[in-house]
Amino acid sequence: MKVVVTGGAGFIGANLCRHLLAADGVSEVVAFDNLSTGFRENLDGIDAELIEATILDPEALDAAFEGASSIVHLGARGSVPRSVAEPMASHLANATGTAEVLEAARRAGDAHVVVASSSSVYGANTRMPFSVHDNVDHPVSLYAATKKSNELMAHAYSHLFGLPATGLRFFTVYGPWGRPDMSVFLFTKAILEGRPIQVFNNGDMRRDFTYIDDIVQGVLASLDRPAPGHRIFNLGNNRAEPLLRFIELIEKAAGRKAIVELKPMQKGDVKETFADIEAATRDLGFRPTTPIDVGVPRFVEWYREFYKA
């Protein structure tokens, strides 16, 4: 089985490539990445082919997708704040880029396409936990709007062309090899260096923090269980944790107290996320096993070792 991972040199992509190469039945793994936010060194020691190209290049996609049985589309311009600051770049990468991936997958033939979505699609929803059956017509950031558009396009391609497609809504993923602009990375770096951290909405935030290994297991489960048509699942830890407790765990693992600067809510952000994973547990066998009490110290230990901090 050949698996192509767009965004394969990124945070989730590189971790997924590692696990794919150890999975039964996988003969070839291709990481497709333009290295705009991914890093070549994320793939060090991994026996995956790296194709350095953009998802906006149809010919490069056709060459990469030839003979693929599964395509995991993780390539995107992440970050809600970046989408607020640079909306057209986010639209081009996330919406147009996904359309190019789906069209190339259709040309390639029978591949099962797994498309990364986000808890951001729930937008202004306040009923917790977020269910895949909830209405998601009120995004509060362009990033969220592009992710919903990805789901709609995947549904249309599945309906029109019989493309098996699975959408996975990721909830606040953290762990080793994370992007430097992610909160756990920013907090850990600043605390270890004795610099202030910015905590938005005056700290009154809750997140369904999900460790990278659990997310990867969910992606692998979706690949193992393709189904006709289009399906959507939440992949989260099934717990809404206070942001300040998350920071306390970083402090404990770092052995230093944080210097906290309380800030108002950022544009495009939401107060709380909380994943209902009933459908993913039932249909994929998805069961996260890493609470933040375990995942946060594990990340800080990795950060210390990797950056000699």
Q: Give the pLDDT confidence of 284-303 residue by residue, as tens digits.
A: 999 999 999 999 999 999 99
Q: What is the mean pLDDT of the chain?
A: 95
> Has domain 2-174+208-238+279-284 been given CATH number 3.40.50.720?
yes
Residue 203 to residue 260: CA distance in whole angstroms: 9
**Is the predicted pLDDT of residue 24 greater than 90, yes or no?**
no
Residue 107 to residue 129: CA distance in whole angstroms: 38
Residue 284 to residue 233: CA distance in whole angstroms: 9
Rounded to an integer, the average pLDDT of 35-58 is 94
pLDDT in tens, 4-19: 999 999 999 999 999 9
Rounded to an integer, the average pLDDT of 121-134 is 95
**Is the predicted pLDDT of residue 234 greater than 90, yes or no?**
yes
**Is the predicted pLDDT of residue 218 greater than 90, yes or no?**
yes
Rounded to an integer, the average pLDDT of 125-148 is 95
Rounded to an integer, the average pLDDT of 235-259 is 97
* Pair 170, 230: CB distance under 8 Å: no
For residue 303, indicate whether it is catalytic. Answer: no
Residue 72 to residue 56: CA distance in whole angstroms: 16
Residue-level pLDDT at 102 = 98
Tokens of 112: 């099962």
Residue-level pLDDT at 110 = 82
Residues contacting residue 230 through CB under 8 Å, at least 6 positions apart: 154, 155, 158, 159, 165, 166, 167
**Is the predicted pLDDT of residue 309 greater than 90, yes or no?**
no
Catalytic annotation, pick one of 143, 157, 174, 303: 143
pLDDT in tens, 56-70: 999 999 999 999 999
**Is the predicted pLDDT of residue 279 greater than 90, yes or no?**
yes
**Domain regions of the chain by residue span:** 2-174+208-238+279-284, 183-206+240-271+292-307
pLDDT in tens, 63-102: 999 999 999 999 998 888 888 889 999 999 999 999 999 9
Specify the pTM.
0.96
Site of tokens 């110290």: 297
- When pLDDT is cut at 50, 70 and 90, the band that residue 103 belongs to is very high
Residue-level pLDDT at 227 = 87
* Pair 151, 98: CB distance under 8 Å: no
**Is the predicted pLDDT of residue 255 greater than 90, yes or no?**
yes
* pLDDT-above-90 percentage for the chain: 88
- Alpha carbon distances (Å) from 257 to 41, 176, 193, 292: 31, 22, 11, 18
**Is the predicted pLDDT of residue 179 greater than 90, yes or no?**
no
Residues contacting residue 247 through CB under 8 Å, at least 6 positions apart: 187, 197, 199, 258, 260
**Helix (H, G, I), strand (E, B), or coil: what is residue 232?**
strand
- Domain 183-206+240-271+292-307: which topology? UDP-galactose 4-epimerase; domain 1 (3.90.25)
Residue-level pLDDT at 78 = 82
Rounded to an integer, the average pLDDT of 190-215 is 97
**Helix (H, G, I), strand (E, B), or coil: what is residue 5?**
strand
Tokens of 219: 């992606």
